[in-house]
Structure 1
């Protein structure tokens, strides 16, 4: 009893080298991406004069593209027994396309660039999630996914802060932000190429039955879990609309990146502790809490009238990410055996991501037709229903 307590205590303050490198990769990648994401809708509306409905189409197509590829990249990972190669391809492609935003002159060009960026994300995400799962035990999986998510959120917090500084110093020079975003992205690729080590799983793959794409042979809990969160994602539209809502209420455009900084710092601070909490009390109650937090926050975004409350909602929104993002992946890893996790992660990512297309299009339509209150209230109601389904079905 005492002999096992000391290693567990020690692991609380140490980190698996694979998880550490993946955390740093997430830090630099999201720093790069989130220099762009908060200001892209502002660039589209203020510089290229794009309608809100078109932004919904751009975001929906881009994210759905990534989602389809997550399914196939996860399956390929299980089949060849390698994660690093696909990750290197995916992160490399995304970071090669980012500077092209600076050269765009129309929303169709932005769509193509955003499509290419998300294409890279689709290649890398499922192998990365499977590598986290395969490198950890069930008892520490929430902590590992929470750490990766915390580093992801930290980069996502620093990115908007860097964008804010650049826009403040260079008087709204959006294109300069796009050019400079390539630097942290390049560092992420270097980390994968030279510092990420993975065990050779080729022999295990040969001995095990190769996975097939689809739900066959996957746990019933995984199937229902994926369906519920796919339904939830129909109401979880792109965070680009949060930037538009902040500006709609009266926040100055230069301060919108700071709001995303607050959101992501909140997520970064709480992701690892919440992940460790899920190791202790289980993933299910944490995920249900996350859905209800989302419902309350989106309802708040719909009825908010002034800028101070926008700041509060952005900070609280970070709690939703801490309660769900890493915990979802840890839950899947718990119920799916090694050798099938890439396919399972890819299936889940594909289903939830494909729902991003109708989600963003629906949000754009509701916003333009009935106003932002209708868009956010609809999302809030869907989240409540998803939470109730998890409770009723005991998923």
Structure 2
């Protein structure tokens, strides 16, 4: 293994490869996208009503919601690296991902019987632990199936399908609440059904590939006189493979941004309280963001491959800063609300899949799930702290001052991150 410095596009010889290699999407990525589509219908239909369910139906404070949102954002961190390591060591990414998707599906049934804050918190924690288990192995499967020179674009295709589900989920919640006022349990039933469908697609359609075994088979000696340096059937996993300059800088920048990224639910509650529209319309705020994400996921993934993945990752947080400022404005018009939702969609399209692409780029094939999981763990932990802290700020200072303070912190984080990556060329780990 060696560390080769690359051009700004994030890959060795990217320019020549991109000029001669047409973009092709793997059926594996499409299949995983369908799994994510149904799973996101399941999770986002619940997520779209959760702020109202906690603060309205259960009558809890913003501090309680901040704690719950922190759990939602960050509890998956306790299993992400362990799940990635297990998938890498066992060379069975699909099995680990299936366990995570299954755990999330089971948690939907728990929502049907949960009545108190403690029970809801526990069930949300189980769901997010399932997400933490599945995400790293799933993204490693996407990385292995994608063309290296079109990695971010391939993630964009997956995230587009994922976001179709994330758009349908809130629409489903909206339709249910429109037909059945306070019909939260009807939303939970629909969520459970979609979660089971997604799990079935993963189990039946997505192939179970042993990536390390395939790599070794391709690199087998052409003649008996060649020396084999590794035992047959094993590609070594080494934590040291993740200790490279690109990964270190990526984790640091991701942590800084995560600490100043507040949950969408808070922003939507700000918009809802500012405009005072009826609660049944609340899920449509999620739809607005997801539609923008859906439209922009592939174009911005392609831009990341061409212009620079780290560059776009940082610029995407500029869109988040603009969304904070838009939410903090005293204006109550529809234009301001739609602009805020569009900016949030730009933020996710420019950062979500791009972060996974960067982490996969800085990892070896034998440590890819662990590398992606490490980046996602840093983000999850930092966002947990951000959500809990913002809930306290809202309770102490009020929504206006709290979101302005978050905007100031993000405005400081953006140039700081630029300085952290300046002066170094992004690197790619190569076997």
Same fold (TM over 0.5): yes
- 1:110-162 per-position Cα deviation (integer Å, ceiling 9, x unaligned): 10110111111111011011111111222110111111111111111111111
2:319 matched residue in structure 1: 293
8 Å Cα contact 1:27-1:156 kept in structure 2: yes
Report the Cα distance in structure 1 between the residues aligned to 2:141 and 2:409, rounded to whole angstroms: 32
State the partner residue of 1:179: 189
Corresponding residue of 1:80 = 90
Matched, 1:310 2:337: yes
Per the alignment, residue 13 of structure 2 pairs with none
Q: Aligned pairs, how many?
A: 388
**TM superposition shift of 1:251:** 2.4
Q: Which has the higher helix share?
A: 1
Query: Which of 322, 334, 338 matches 2:365?
Result: 338
1:268 aligns with 2:294: yes
Q: Distance in 1 between matches of 2:18 and 2:151?
A: 18
> TM-score scaled to structure 1, two decimals?
0.93
Unpaired runs of 5+ residues, structure 1, are none
Which residue, out of 207, 226, 229, partners 1:197?
Answer: 207
Q: Distance in 1 between matches of 2:242 and 2:317?
A: 28
Measured on the aligned residues, the alpha-carbon RMSD in Å equals: 2.0
Structure 2 stretches of 5 or more lacking a match? 1-16, 217-231, 423-431
- Give the direction of change, closer, same or farther, for the CA distance of 1:142–1:217 in structure 2 (3 Å limit): closer
CA distance in 2, matches of 1:206, 1:377: 55
Q: Secondary structure at the match of 2:365?
A: coil
4+ runs of 1 displaced by more than 6 Å?
4-7
Q: Is 1:393 aligned to 2:420, yes or no? A: yes
Does the 8 Å CA contact 2:362/2:371 hold for their aligned counterparts? no
Query: Whose Rg is larger?
Result: 2
Tell me the distance in 2 between the aligned counterparts of 1:392 and 1:42.
40
SS of the residue 2:237 aligns to: coil
Note the C-alpha offset of 1:209.
Answer: 2.6
Contact 2:242 2:362 (C-alpha < 8 Å) held by counterparts:
no
Q: For residues 17-76 of structure 1, what are the alpha-carbon distances to aligned partners after superposition, in whole Å with 9 as ceiling and x for unaligned?
A: 110001111111111111110111101121111111011111212432211211111111
The answer to whether the 8 Å contact 1:251/1:307 transfers is: no
Partner in structure 2 of residue 240 of structure 1: 265
1:382/1:206 Cα in 2 relative to 1: closer, same or farther (>3 Å)? farther
Match of 2:74?
A: 64
Aligned pair 1:34/2:61, yes or no?
A: no
Q: Could you tell me how far apart the structure 2 residues matched to 1:44 and 1:174 are?
A: 11
TM-score of the pair, normalised by structure 2: 0.85
